[in-house]
Structure 1
Amino acid sequence: MYRHLLVPIDGTDLATETVSNAVEFARTLGARITFFHAQPNHAAAFGGEAEIVRLTSPADFAYAYQGRARELLAKAESAARALGVPCDSSTAVSDSPYRAIIAAAQDAGCDLIYMASHGRRSSIGMMLGSQTLKVLVNAGMPVLVAATSSPPATSQAIGIIRDEHRSLAAVLHAWLHLLESDGSPAEGSRDELMRAMVHYIKAFPVALHHPKEEDYLFRKLRERTSQCNAELDELERQHERDLQLVDELAKAVDRHAAGEVDLATVKEAVSRYALFIWEHMGREEGVILPAAQRYLTPADWDEINAAFSENSDPRFGRDTDAEFKRLFSRIVNLAPSPAKQ
């Protein structure tokens, strides 16, 4: 049976579903995963769109053409860790994605390539994009093509919720590794990065993600059934507890920067918060999302999906997503890469 999967991922909306399916597949096999992302060779296209973006908006260029790869891989790794699946990741710059995918699988010693296709239906009844078909023809090893195409609102909304969970998990993994790494940055640089992590947690999961869950997902589920009320009550209490724990994190970071506490105190606070959050997200994904799939209507999912995908709540501005994407990218790219499992 297969023991090592290569899972190519891209920046499309289907990537979250692909990663979820691949991780579950690997878990059932007892296999490990190497996630892989092929980046276009923007340097070879001087004068093209990438160069225009680099010159006119350096921040957008850094996110879209440099930091995006680490973000995608960090969130994929978090999904694997959540189910206890050993994982690794790699990236390569290539104008031929299928060749890069095959080379990555060979270099990592994989025995199966697990990938999705975003193309049209072929005469043999499979959804085959051009790169997927080239991998199938040239890989020289088994290739499993996952059936993912135009997911309904239910899948899109659940995918966004899981993706936001993975973003937070990736930040926490990066933070823990930052505190454990022998090659950690100087004190001032580390304190600055930890403050950025606190800001991300306060402004995204606490101020944005939790309210969306309560106002849309939790509310709709309460309207359809009372079976989950006790669980929802506990999760909302945990949202309030989250505020307290993040305040404790912020104080620990500030006190360390002032020389009042050692790094071990910060690490203890981060570890305590990480355990709390991983249990909380596990309860939401293991209990609430399955219940929502049973009880909510298509109209409910349309409303939930619109809220999560567009930040339609008037409390949040239009630039919210871009701000958090840049901050997340900065964190995962500046923090030391987690040790491979």
Structure 2
Amino acid sequence: MYRHLLVPLDDSDRAIETVNKAVNLARTLGARVSFLHVHDHHDAPIDGAAMPSGYAATHHERALALLTKAEAAARALGVPCDSVILEGPRPHEVILDTARKTGCDLIFMAPHSRKGARGEALGSQTVQVLTAGETPVLVSAAQDADVAHPMVDLIRGEHRALAAVLHAWLHLLNNTTPQDSTTVIELMRAMAHYIIKFPLALHRPSEHDYLFFVLRGRTAVVHAELDELERQHERERAMAETLGDEVEHYALGQATLGQLRDAVETYAHFMWEHMGRVEGVVLPAAQRYLSEVDWNEIQATATRPGSFRANAAAQAAYRQLFARIAHLAPP
């Protein structure tokens, strides 16, 4: 019987699906999970161009967001977990070494075909772990991208949009000095405005008013999780409004750059956990228990006349604001 799973995660959009499968397996086995992200510096630009400003810090923030989401999903399902970010030019060696040092008795991996910066299939790391080590390896079945209803992709897209703004803000804060111009403050005001208004107009209704409502009527297995997520929605709004206040305090010299950075990091960590619970627990449950009719009803309600999604002018304004913000994040 396996007691300790090591789950390596790359930074692909579908990593959370690996998390869900691994955590459910661990729960069935009564095992614990260690999540691992290996950063290979060779994945940085190698064409002779200078490394983007803040690349290392931004990569670490993205990895931290991924692992925070993974841990949140595991805790929501009652599975003990921990996580670590490591570095190495040969990720498969880091994975095998970590399994040995931490006493993991099973490595759970996904078969990826996405291409890395050097054109190397990331799936080759799975092959090398399979062939080079002694620890048993379980390769998860590939996820069919066409299975999910468009509403699932829409919710995931909203998460990516909000995450992009938060990464851009953290990048800006990590590359800002107190002497920078008022242009930086205006950009941060735009970010705060987006974070306050976007979840209220799109993200929160998609989850709370549409998906959660229908899912409650189909199964009780995630009622406790939905209760917690709805409480988080209330805290999310208050925390977002506090961010707006912190930007103004900083603009008036009533708060330091460090205090503002702490506030943004606190909110970002809160949102990573929220997204992890939704993507790692609720969406998989919804895909299991909701019918095509249910999903179509959710989508029809979300796009009904008079809703925000049906307001072309409002949608265009948000896209313009997002475009202004998102370009700040380095590739």
* TM score, norm. by length of structure 1: 0.57
Structure 2 distance, partners of 1:243, 1:193, is: 20
Indicate whether 1:109 and 2:118 are aligned.
yes
Aligned-pair CA distance for 1:205 = 1.4
Match of 2:258 among 264, 270, 276: 264
Query: For residue 20 of structure 1, what is the aligned residue in structure 2?
Result: 13
Q: 2:65 touches 2:269 (CA, 8 Å); kept in 1? A: no
In 2, the alpha carbon distance for the partners of 1:157 and 1:81 equals 27
Partner secondary structure for residue 220 of structure 2: coil
Q: In the TM superposition, what are the counterparts of 1:193-232 in structure 2 within 5 Å? A: 193-232=187-226
- 2:105 matched to which residue of 1? none
Q: 1:237-272: CA deviations, max 9, x gaps?
A: 110001110111011101111111111111111011
Matches within 5 A, 1:53-132: 82-83=65-66, 108-112=117-121
RMSD between aligned alpha carbons?
A: 3.8
Question: CA 1:35 to 1:166, structure 2 compared with 1: closer, same or farther past 3 Å?
Answer: farther
Alignment equivalent of 1:314, drawn from 296, 302, 306: 306
Please report how far the alpha carbon of residue 206 of structure 1 lies from its aligned counterpart in structure 2 after TM superposition.
2.7
Separation in 1 of the partners of 2:269 and 2:276? 11
How far apart, CA to CA, are the structure 1 residues paired with 2:275 and 2:226?
Answer: 13
Deviation (angstroms), 1:231:
1.0
Structure 2, gaps ≥5 residues long: 1-9, 19-34, 46-59, 68-84, 87-114, 124-141
Post-superposition shift, 1:225?
A: 1.2
- Paired residues in the alignment total 230
Of residues 246, 249, 255, the one that matches 2:249 is: 255
2:305 & 2:209 partners in 1: Cα distance? 9
Distance (whole Å) between structure 1 residues aligned to residue 191 and residue 290 of structure 2: 34
Which amino acid in structure 2 is aligned with residue 237 of structure 1?
R
| Counterparts of 2:285 and 2:221, CA distance in 1 | 9
Q: 3-state DSSP class of the match of 1:112?
A: coil
**Partner SS state of residue 149, structure 2:** helix
1:156 matched to 2:150: yes
CA distance in 2, matches of 1:175, 1:288: 28
Aligned-partner Cα distance in 2 for 1:29–1:241: 29
Separation in 1, partners of 2:43, 2:300: 32
* Native 8 Å contact 1:178 1:184 kept in 2: no
The separation in 1 between residues aligned to 2:200 and 2:218, in whole angstroms, is 26
SS of aligned partner of 1:20: coil
Deviation at 1:294, TM superposition (A): 1.3
The whole-number CA distance in structure 2 between the counterparts of 1:272 and 1:206 is 19
* Gap change, CA 1:314 and 1:186, over 3 Å in 2: same
Return the letter of the residue paired with 1:312: R
Q: Which amino acid aligns with 2:325?
A: I
- CA deviation after TM superposition for structure 1 residue 165, in Å: 0.3
Shift of 1:78: 9.1
Following the alignment from structure 2 to structure 1, what is the Cα–Cα distance between the partners of residues 233 and 287? 22
1:259 alignment partner, SS class: coil
SS in 2 for 1:319: helix
The TM-score, its normalising length taken from structure 2, stands at 0.58
Is the Cα–Cα contact under 8 Å of residues 170 and 265 in structure 2 kept in the other structure?
yes
Q: Structure 1 residues 24 and 217, CA, compared in 2 at 3 Å: closer, same or farther?
A: closer
Matched AA of 1:178: L
Q: Which residue of 2 aligns with 1:323?
A: 317
Indicate the SS of the match to 1:253. helix
The reply on whether 1:281 has 2:275 as its aligned counterpart is yes
Q: Distance in 2 between matches of 1:231 and 1:184?
A: 41
User: How far 1:24 moved relative to its partner?
Assistant: 6.7
Flag the 1:224–1:281 CA change in 2: closer, same or farther, 3 A: same
Distance 1:161 1:313, change over 3 A: farther
**How far is 1:183 from its partner?**
7.8
- Closer, same or farther: CA 168–78 of 1 in aligned 2, 3 Å: farther
